[in-house]
Structure 1
Amino acid sequence: MPARTRHIRAVAVTLGCASMALALSVPAQAAPQPRHHGAGIERAVLPAGDGWAAAEGSTTGGADAAPEHVYTVTDRAELVAAFEEAGDAPKIVRVAGTIHGNSDADGTPIGCEQYETGGYTLEKYLAAYDPEVWGTGRTPEGPLEDARAASAKLQQAAVNVRVPSNTTLIGVGENPEIIGASLQVRDVSNVIVRNISFEDTYDCFPQWDPTDGSAGAWNSEYDNLVVYGSRHVWVDHNTFSDGDRPDSGQPHYFGQVYQQHDGLFDIVRGADLVTVSWNVLKDHDKTMLIGNSDGAGATDRGKLRVTLHHNLFKDVKERAPRVRFGQVDSYNNHFVATRAGSYGYTYGIGAESRLVAEHNAFTLAGGVDRATVLKKWSEAPLTAENNYVNGRRTDLIAVHNAGVPGEQLTEGAGWTPGLRTTVHHPRAVPVLVGLKAGAGRASGRR
């Protein structure tokens, strides 16, 4: 075993002897790798004109990485170490195999009990805050809520992984995947994420809030991927899902689903110039926010410029996406709803948004009302032209306004997208996206 590789494992063992949470949050030292066969995909940059991430400069990620800043990582410690070692220098980080966010220093998956502290157990929490005992007029407080929050903080140190500027994070080999980690592209620039399956970023310690809605709700943290306050980001040919922990399989406590997932992929808090292309997002409830608060105008106005194209959204309940403030161009996406009972809406029209949704295809099961494809949250105009529902051209705004007369939408976003690749006919979109979208289907050229 090379000395550099031995050092990686030695550091990981040392970390494993410390507190579990601290071990998870302190990176091992990663070994740089030489350039590999197939460097075309690893050093690919966003093509000119491909969405908002091609505006005001270019998005190149780690394409200019020196050989010593090309890494292959196989566990969480090595992933964090690669980011830490290279810093903001151009870097290529190759994900090989499966990386678990909830894992020990050797990469072995661990369970929620490893984070429990202060006497927290779910059973005790349920007993303490049962509405029959605690009531419904105030949020939980006291020793067990404090213990839940402390336990959640330990998990957060393991789950959240910060991605630096000038990074290409790319899956290599068979079935590269990241399970149970939340990638944070936060306050950086020039990042490319490609060819990875992101699964099941779950919260071990959801908080019960009896005042949330009419019946209370369980609220959780973590998205698979968050772009927060960052510019020039390209997210391409990935797959996002809840993996083996779908919301439909979760238990119910206090009459509500025990919600361990938040979003799949959010773009928030002044993020700007983002292109999201050829991804699969499936089997989830709250899928994607572009802007996460009506009160974030100070950071979000004039930003949140995002392009979504050639993505598959399959059996997602809502937020595909829900938009606030941003000029969002959504074209040539395929939206599939096979279960009418679990469909809420596709596009959420939020505060000061300017959504253009054109040339998309919708395949909706019987029982799904076309009028609910659009959901009005705030007064904001949009453009929705040349979209096809079940193979037929459909005026989504007219159908919505007729079917939901109490929530009239205004036509005309007031801007025309100018940064698009080939625009395909909506009837061709289901086949093209079905053949080419998702992890394992990326290529060096686009």
Structure 2
Amino acid sequence: MRRTSARFRLAGFAAIATAVATLAGFTAINGATASAAEEADTYVVGTPAGYGRSTTGGAGGSVVTVSNATDFINYAKSSSTLEIRVNGTINLSSMTKVASNKTIIGVGTSGRITGSGLNVANANNVILQNLTLSGSNDDAINVQYSTNVWIDHNTITGANDGGIDIKRASDNITVSWNRMYDQDKNMLLGHDDGNGSEDRGRLHVSYHHNWFDGTNQRNPRVRFGNVVHVFNNYYDGVGSYGVASTEEAGVLVEGNYFENTDDPYHCGEGDSDPGNLRATNNYFTGSGSGQTCGSVGGVPYSYSLDSASSVKNNVMNGAGVGRI
């Protein structure tokens, strides 16, 4: 299984491609709208699985294509509902705000963001898809005080801090079909041990069909989120540890494929107290057996679970940019 969501071609594109769009006080003509050739190879996003299943992003809004940082930043922070197509390399100098009701999607394999990352802050209903994010001077993707977010089919490498960090009362998020490599602190869930007043009852995140390709730690590292669902991911050569459950978290680790990973999952991390972790139906080769603790309930949604032994092939053939 390479994808859990449906794909649909965008209708009515021709009218958008020739229109003049006025958005958040500035006007984009011709070059900032999508071309017919780009549309022919681009699919509108379908529906995610898991906690982020209600996310629709910029569906129903205008479609624009950007190839420079100025246009990208202006559209990303706009209050309008937009599908922003990235065609080319966007060089950012600092974390760029992504506002509500946005889809940011790479065109083919050409959508690249480098230099810094994306900050989904105080936002609702955001999709980030089919982007290569490399060499950020901070996080590649930061999500805080935000709900209904889908991070899907991206390739992430070389961020100075986190690959995908989710924190500060964020909720109802799916992280799926991403490939991460050359990344140390990969995926943090929960700001710090003292942030329970914001995070208890929130931080519901589904991580599925991601390729942790030699990422060292935090795949993810969880505080307070309960139940966090980690399923059908491929862990290959993970150095320090895979999943850590801490500080009242409840993590269900299900149907994953662990290869050459000495410490697949454990309870507690650093100065953080142990959380709860339940593991079931995982596959191990050249790896440790992992540590479980406490009790963890089920997730409040239906989902399709691949057999753990098939996950490596499915994820390697489906995760990252250009695989949707």
More strand by share: 2
In the alignment, what sits opposite 2:139?
223
**Counterparts in 2 of 1:391 and 1:369: CA distance versus 1, 3 Å:** closer
Per-residue deviation at 1:182? 1.5
* Equivalent residue for 1:89, pick from 62, 80, 102: 80
Contact 1:29 1:78 in 2 (8 A): no
Instruction: Work out whether 1:277 is the aligned partner of 2:160.
Output: no
Q: In structure 2, how many angstroms separate the alpha carbons of the residues matched to 1:42 and 1:92?
A: 11
In the alignment, what sits opposite 1:359?
255
Amino acid at match of 1:62: G
Amino acid at match of 2:70: A
Contact 2:50 2:174 in 1 (8 A): yes
Counting matched residue pairs gives 295
Amino acid at match of 1:385: T
SS at match of 2:183: strand
In the alignment, what sits opposite 1:252?
none
SS at match of 1:233: strand
Per-residue deviation at 1:380? 1.7
Instruction: Work out whether 1:332 is the aligned partner of 2:249.
Output: no
Q: In structure 2, how many angstroms separate the alpha carbons of the residues matched to 1:53 and 1:75?
A: 29
Instruction: Work out whether 1:71 is the aligned partner of 2:70.
Output: no
Q: In structure 1, how many angstroms separate the alpha carbons of the residues matched to 2:65 and 2:50?
A: 29
Amino acid at match of 2:76: F
Contact 1:42 1:63 in 2 (8 A): no
In the alignment, what sits opposite 1:46?
47
**Counterparts in 2 of 1:240 and 1:425: CA distance versus 1, 3 Å:** same
| Mapping 1:168-187, distance limit 5 Å | 168-187=103-122
Instruction: Work out whether 1:320 is the aligned partner of 2:321.
Output: no
**Counterparts in 2 of 1:349 and 1:420: CA distance versus 1, 3 Å:** same
Larger Rg: 1
In the alignment, what sits opposite 1:9?
none
| Mapping 1:199-348, distance limit 5 Å | 199-202=134-137, 222-242=138-158, 261-327=160-226, 328-337=228-237, 343-348=239-244
Cα deviation per residue 1:309-348 (whole Å; 9 max; x = unaligned)?
000001111100100001210000000107xxxx111112
| Mapping 1:378-397, distance limit 5 Å | 378-390=273-285, 396-397=290-291
In the alignment, what sits opposite 1:376?
268
* Equivalent residue for 2:303, pick from 415, 421, 426: 421
Contact 2:120 2:146 in 1 (8 A): yes
In the alignment, what sits opposite 1:33?
33
Instruction: Work out whether 1:434 is the aligned partner of 2:304.
Output: no
SS at match of 1:294: coil
Task: With the length of structure 2 as denominator, give the TM-score of the two structures.
Answer: 0.84
Amino acid at match of 1:177: R
Per-residue deviation at 1:373? 3.6
Amino acid at match of 1:91: L
Contact 1:223 1:262 in 2 (8 A): yes
Contact 2:33 2:65 in 1 (8 A): yes
**Counterparts in 2 of 1:308 and 1:174: CA distance versus 1, 3 Å:** closer
Contact 1:391 1:427 in 2 (8 A): no
Amino acid at match of 1:374: H
Per-residue deviation at 1:354? 0.7
Q: In structure 1, how many angstroms separate the alpha carbons of the residues matched to 2:34 and 2:117?
A: 28
Cα deviation per residue 1:126-157 (whole Å; 9 max; x = unaligned)?
xxxxxxxxxxxxxxxxxxxxxxxxxxxxxxxx
**Counterparts in 2 of 1:348 and 1:417: CA distance versus 1, 3 Å:** same
**Counterparts in 2 of 1:310 and 1:420: CA distance versus 1, 3 Å:** farther
Contact 1:28 1:78 in 2 (8 A): no
Instruction: Note the residue ranges of structure 2 that are not aligned, 5 or more in a row.
Output: 1-24
Amino acid at match of 1:299: E
Per-residue deviation at 1:396? 2.6
Instruction: Note the residue ranges of structure 1 that are not aligned, 5 or more in a row.
Output: 1-26, 102-157, 203-221, 243-259, 398-408
Per-residue deviation at 1:418? 3.7
Contact 1:52 1:275 in 2 (8 A): yes
Contact 1:46 1:234 in 2 (8 A): no
**Counterparts in 2 of 1:190 and 1:39: CA distance versus 1, 3 Å:** farther
Task: With the length of structure 1 as denominator, give the TM-score of the two structures.
Answer: 0.62
Amino acid at match of 1:319: R
State the identity as a percent: 34
